[in-house]
Amino acid sequence: MLAEEVRQKLISIVGEKNLLDSEENLVVYSYDATPNYQAMPDAVIKPRNTKEIQEIVKICNEYKVPIVPRGSGTNLCAGTCPLEGGIVLLFTYMNQILEIDEDNLTVTVQPGIITLELIQAVEAKGLFYPPDPSSMKISTIGGNINENSGGLRGLKYGVTRDYVMALEVVLPNGEVIRTGGKLAKDVAGYDFTRLMVGSEGTLGIITEAMLKLIPIPETKKTMLALFDSLEGAGQAVSAIIANKIIPATLEFLDQGTLEVVEDFAKIGLPTNVGAVLLIEQDGPMEVVDRDIEKIVKICEESEAISVQVAQSPEEGLALTTARRSALSALARKKPTTILEDATVPRSKVAEMVREINKIAKEHNVEICTFGHAGDGNLHPTCMTDARNEEEMHRVEQAFADIFAKAIELGGTITGEHGVGVMKSPYLAWKLGEEGVNAMKTLKFAFDPNNIMNPGKIFAKETKKRVVVQK
C-alpha cells in the first residue's frame, strides 16, 4: 500500500479520479498476457501529459516507489506484472496521433495509441508502418517500443527499432529528454533512441515517439506451400534466400499448430502434412509476380506436396489471419498456453524445430511450433495446465533445454517478446556474466533507486545451465 503522504501527492498531480486503488482495479492490473505471473500493484495511475508523468516520477524516485509503465499488457514475458508493487502507469489519456508528415514520411504519436489504429491511419495516406506484432489489434505503440516488437513482416522490413526516429522520455530522475528528430541521419551523441527501444520500461518512460514511414507497397501476393517434412520446408526457406529473394513474410507452422489453427479458423487448411510455409511478397506488381513465380518453383524443387497461390486479396488475408490466430487457437486446447520465442539464425530453423520436438518428447510435454521462419524467430508453444505442478516443472525444464539449444545454434532466448521476468534467469546464457554486468552498470547509472519496472530483465539468480545432450 502506498504511504498516505505519497498517495496524496500523486492525487494532487493527476486528480482523484485518475488514481485507482480499489481492490477490483488493482486485481485487473496485477497480471498481463503472460500466464502464471501475478502481483498486486499499490495503485494504478492515469497521467494526462508528460508534465504529470515527470512529477509522478519525481515523487516515486523520492519515495522509492516502483513504476510499471503499461500499454495494453499484451506482452508475453510478464514485463508489465508489478512484481514489487508500486504504481502501474497507464497511457489511457495519451493515445493520440499528433502529426503525420507526408513530406518527411514520419508520424508522431503518443504512447497509448493502438498499433493497428496507427497502421490504418497512415495507410489511409498511402504510407506504411511495417512492424505488425500479432497483438497489433490491441497492443499500443508505447508497448511495442518498450519491447522492440517484431511481427510477420520482420524479415523484409525489420522490427520496431528500425522505425523509431525520435523519442521524448522521462528519465528516472524526472528529467525529460528528447532524442533524434525528423532526420534519416543524426549522430549527435549516443543513440539514446535505440537504447530506449526494447529497454522494457526499466530506463525511463516514453511519452512521445516519432516513427518512420515508407511508401505503401503497390501490391501483395500470398501463397501456401505444404511439405511432408520439416526438412523440406527448411530447405525451401534457405533456397528462397539463396536465390536473393527477401519475401515480406515467410511463416512456418508445424503439423500440430496447423491442426489446431484449422480447427479454429476453418478455412480448409490441410492438417495431414509435416509443415507449412505461408509466404507473402509485396512491392511493385512486376516484381511480386516474378518473385512469387520463382518461389513456387523453389518450393516445388524442395519437394513441396502442394503449392497454392491465393487467387484474391481476400483469400490471402484469410491465410494470414489464420496464421495470426495461431496463439488464440492453441490457447483453446489446454488451460495454460506458454508461448516462447527462442530464435536461431535462419539457416538453423529446421534443425531447431527438430530439436524442439525431441526436447518435448524427452520431457513428455506437448509443444507445437510456428513462427517467422524467414528470420529464425520461432514460437514453440506449450499447452499445459498451470495447476499441475509436476507437469509445470517438466515444462520449465523443456524450455530451459530449448533456450540452451537456441544459444548453442547461435541464437537467442528471445527474438521479439522481451526478457521481462520470465526469461531473466536465462539472460546470462546469451550475454555472459560480463554482458549482464554491463547492462546492470547502465541500469543503475540511470536508475540508482531501481524504481523503473524493478525485477525485470535482471534476475536475482542465473539458472544453472544444463548442457543439452545430443
Task: Show the binding pattern over residues 113-152: x = contacts a second copy (CB under 8 A), - = does not.
Answer: -------------x--------------------xx-x--
Task: Show the binding pattern over residues 356-375: x = contacts a second copy (CB under 8 A), - = does not.
Answer: ----------------x-xx
165 to 224, contacts with a second copy by CB under 8 A?
A: 171, 175-179, 181-192, 194-195, 197-199, 203, 214-216
333 to 352, contacts with a second copy by CB under 8 A?
A: 343-347
Q: How far is the CB of 351 from a second copy (least distance, A)?
A: 12
Q: How far is the CB of 19 from a second copy (least distance, A)?
A: 27
Task: Show the binding pattern over residues 276-315: x = contacts a second copy (CB under 8 A), - = does not.
Answer: -------xx-xx--x-------------------------
Rule CB under 8 A: say whether 437 interacts with a second copy: yes
Q: For a second copy, which is the closer residue by CB, 384 or 424? A: 424
CA distance 441 to 448: 10
375 to 434, contacts with a second copy by CB under 8 A?
A: 375-377, 410-419, 423, 427, 430-432, 434
Q: For a second copy, which is the closer residue by CB, 31 or 429? A: 429
Which of residues 25, 30, 238, 462 is near a second copy by CB under 8 A?
Answer: 238
Q: For a second copy, which is the closer residue by CB, 102 or 263? A: 102
Q: For a second copy, which is the closer residue by CB, 445 or 467? A: 445
Q: How many CA atoms lie within 13 A of 74 on its CB side?
A: 23
The three three-digit cell numbers of residue 283, written as one number: 512491392
49 to 108, contacts with a second copy by CB under 8 A?
A: 101-105
- The distance between the two most distant Cα atoms of the chain, rounded to a whole number of Å, is 71
Q: For a second copy, which is the closer residue by CB, 10 or 373? A: 373
Which of residues 15, 313, 335, 435 is near a second copy by CB under 8 A?
Answer: 435
Q: How far is the CB of 441 from a second copy (least distance, A)?
A: 5
Which of residues 65, 88, 90, 155 is near a second copy by CB under 8 A?
Answer: 155
